[in-house]
Copies of this chain bind each other. A is one copy, B any other.
Amino acid sequence: MSKNIATREADYSKWYNDIVHQADLAEHSDVKGCMVIKPYGYAIWENMRDVLDRMFKETGHSNAYFPLFIPKSYLSKEASHVEGFAKECAVVTHYRLKATADGKGVEVDPEAKLQEELIVRPTSETIIWNSYRNWIQSYRDLPILINQWANVVRWEMRTRLFLRTAEFLWQEGHTAHATKEEAIEETEQMLRVYADFAENFMAMPVIMGRKTASERFAGADDTLCIEAMMQDGKALQAGTSHFLGQNFAKAFDVKFADKQGKLDFVWATSWGVSTRLMGALVMTHSDDEGLVLPPKLAPIQVVAIPIYKTEEELELIEEKFKSLGNSLKALGIRFKFDGDDNKRPGWKFNEYELKGVPIRLAMGPRDLENGQVEIARRDTKEKSSVPVEGVVEHIAALLHEIQSNLLERSKRHREANTFRVETYEEFKQRIDEGGFFLAHWDGTAETEELIKNETKATIRCIPFDGPSEAGVCMVTGKLSPQRVIFAKAY
């Protein structure tokens, strides 16, 4: 059955867009760069959000909410932050519209100009640290462990659904600490939380590491990241955790008195993941037939489709499926029975395949007679007929198996596409094929820049668990303490 999906081989980029549209995840809106996240896409995001939110709370964080708008002057208070974020921003200059002279439209009221322009937050460090100044007097007020779920806006000329949009949804953690050590431990802890989420819920293996100085968050002393490999071999930065030092405390004058009464600036971290993870999820597992979802994040984990000719057959099959569904729901499994009489089974098979539902059940009159049900798994497309008796346990086990198979499959893909290169010649020849390239680099921004300009590849990270053998930079021949990961990236 034709699905209007380009194959990955023919056009990877079009394949991605086709999946996002055909699986009804999101669409472009008429507002340049802003997307509409459709109900099915949003349901996946809700599952992600709920798991992450629980993980944040388990590590001691609380949610709060800070203003959408940031006074323009705040952005320039932290010297390097302004470089990174005070550029492509949505700027609010007026606070009122009025009717046009012909009474048919509205226009901006020139009388209602703001004294200071407001920026729609591209990230909230500045507005939050401006609040923290009033919240923190002594070490007793620390740590502050806050997270915010919010929309942010970074004006983008070239957008791609989920991967790069002007407005996107995200969470941003902003913590304040009495010591440098505690802030660094927080930065590392949250990176581990992200890696745990990526691997154990998204079934997406990630490499934890450190960004080079030139790839750091604007205003950070250190940026840690998780990097994933997509099916085309490109890297996708899936989450970042920043050690901000005392930079924002200094910019917003946030000091605390320690136990001895001595004043010092507060130490900070911030960390975030966004709806970009939706793009990563799509590109990690999906195939040419549509979306493939890891069971833990699938809005529907098991769909049941009746195959029948008569009303009576439908009733009998529905009864069986409903009873099975109740047993599954009792185990916390998200089950849907699709008895829509207006659609043929073949159409439904196609639809749920497109939407990545991990397990599809089908039952016809003969299955009913034999006490059997057909089970199809989305990841391998294997089908089998099993007895209805004991199928609940079988399904529960199969969901686990699909979850771990997706992770293993992605790991194998990454391993098969991770290469060591020794010379810049080899690097330049092979970089266009895609993949992660472990190479030696001399640690300078100049070399990094040169490689980026010549090949469009960037250093994704200096991996924590990478091989630590020393060597010489593939470009300059200078000493290098360990290999770093180069790749082209989303």
Q: Which residues of A come within 8 Å of B, CB atoms?
A: 27, 29-31, 34-39, 42-43, 46, 62-73, 75-76, 82, 86-99, 104-108, 117-120, 127, 130-131, 134, 140, 146, 150-151, 153, 155, 167, 169, 342
Contact = CB atoms under 8 A, between A and B. Distances in A.
B117 A120 contact: no
Given A31-B70, A63-B39, A68-B34, A155 B96 contact: yes
A90 B105 contact: no
B75 A93 contact: no
Given A69-B167, A118-B31, A93 B93 contact: yes
B71 A30 contact: yes
B97 A72 contact: yes
B69 A82 contact: no
A72 B106 contact: yes
A328 to B, nearest CB: 18
Given A82-B106, A105-B76, A117-B108, A69 B43 contact: no
5 contacts: A34-B67, A39-B146, A75-B106, A91-B108, A95-B155
A36 B70 CA distance: 12
A70 B106 CA distance: 13
Contacts of A140: 342
A93 B108 contact: yes
Nearest to A74: B30
B62 A39 contact: yes
A4 B108 CA distance: 44
Contacts of A117: 108
Contacts of A146: 39
Given A31-B67, A75-B97, 4 more contacts: A34-B68, A36-B64, A39-B64, A90-B118
Contacts of A73: 105
Contacts of A107: 72
A91 B90 contact: no
Contact of A91 (B39, B75, B95): B95
Given A63-B39, A68-B167, A93 B96 contact: no
Contacts of A93: 91-94, 108
A245 B93 CA distance: 35
A39 B66 CA distance: 11
A299 B234 CA distance: 44
A119 B93 CA distance: 11
Contact of A94 (B71, B91, B169): B91
Nearest to A61: B39
Contact of A67 (B29, B39, B75, B95): B29
A42 B127 CA distance: 17
Nearest to A65: B37
A39 B146 CA distance: 8
A53 to B, nearest CB: 9
Contacts of A63: 39, 42-43, 46
A146 to B, nearest CB: 6
B68 A42 contact: no
Contacts of A82: 99, 106
Contact of A120 (B89, B92, B127, B131): B92
